[in-house]
Amino acid sequence: MSAATCAGLDAADAIRFPGAAMTEAIDAVTTPAAAGLAVTPLVMAGPPPVDAAPPAAALPPPQVEGDTNDSWQDLLRILIYALLIALVERTLFFQPYNIPSGSMEDTLLVGDFLFVEKFAYGYSRYSLPFGRYLTSFGRVWTHDPARGDVAVFALPSEPERDFIKRIVGLPGDRVQVVHGVLYLNGALIPKIRVSDYVEVENGYLQHIARYRETLPGGKSYYVLDREADGVNDNTPVYTVPAGHYFMMGDNRDDSDDSRGVVGYLPAENLIGRAEFKFFSIDERKTQLFTFWKWPSAIRWHRLFRAID
């Protein structure tokens, strides 16, 4: 076969023509034009292309119809368990509170966050979430408070409001304040002047007279006297009834306590004993969303401090 004869044909095509006669016939035609024929180049046809399957490792895992539902059920179960644990812990053991007013300065400041021990005095309906709407069942697992404890309680006239004050009078005690000095059962409670409490009010420094007061039994703490012979600095004698307590704020001239709105506090209204501060922030220096100011507003020296 000549070179001209093989134009448009490859080696594979050549083997499709058997026999010498056929070879001579093709040799007789020197060019396609000489034979009056149009020769179309042959192209080998292969099988139709098939998209290659991805490697087995690249295939996503088969989906089971119940998988999504099971995942949501697991998440819901975890959330329910977490809520139940938090509810039990908050109800029976420790509950966090924050201080919104200055009635306990300088023991507690506005912006202090603290934990209250719920089991310190036993439990009443006020220990339970929404327990204010339950019928009274008294107290269970009762433990008597000590004089000088800082306690959280439900305000008798408005049980939905929680107050925090110091217990200064126990059942049967006679309590009186004369010229800003506390008397218990006719005996003067020692009150020693110490360094002033300094605060900033409207951009000005203010010095407040501060004293260390020591109750029978040795409990000692600071109290403030903002105004000499203020409204609550002279009181009648209060005799605390059985099953009740007499509460006072450490900021003696700026506290709604048993000398006024609180009155004698029923033991049932006690919620727990304040134990320690875990956080404190000066709310005058920052807001919730101005987080970049938080580091300078946090009172670092008050964090994780026991409450006297």
Report d(CA 94, CA 114) in Å as an integer.
10
Residue 307 to residues 33, 73, 196, 240, 304: CA-CA distances in angstroms?
Answer: 114, 43, 20, 25, 10
Partnered with residue 13 across adjacent β-strands are: none
Report d(CA 160, CA 7) in Å as an integer.
104
Catalytic residue among 103, 255, 258, 280: 103
Q: With CA atoms as reference, report the closest residue to 42 among 88, 69, 87, 11.
A: 11
Known catalytic membership, residue 165: yes
User: What H or E segment, with its residue span, contains residue 28?
Assistant: helix 20-28
Catalytic residue among 118, 124, 127, 165: 165
Burial class (CB in 10 A: 0-12, 13-18, 19+), 188: exposed
Known catalytic membership, residue 136: no
User: Which residues are annotated as catalytic?
Assistant: 103, 165
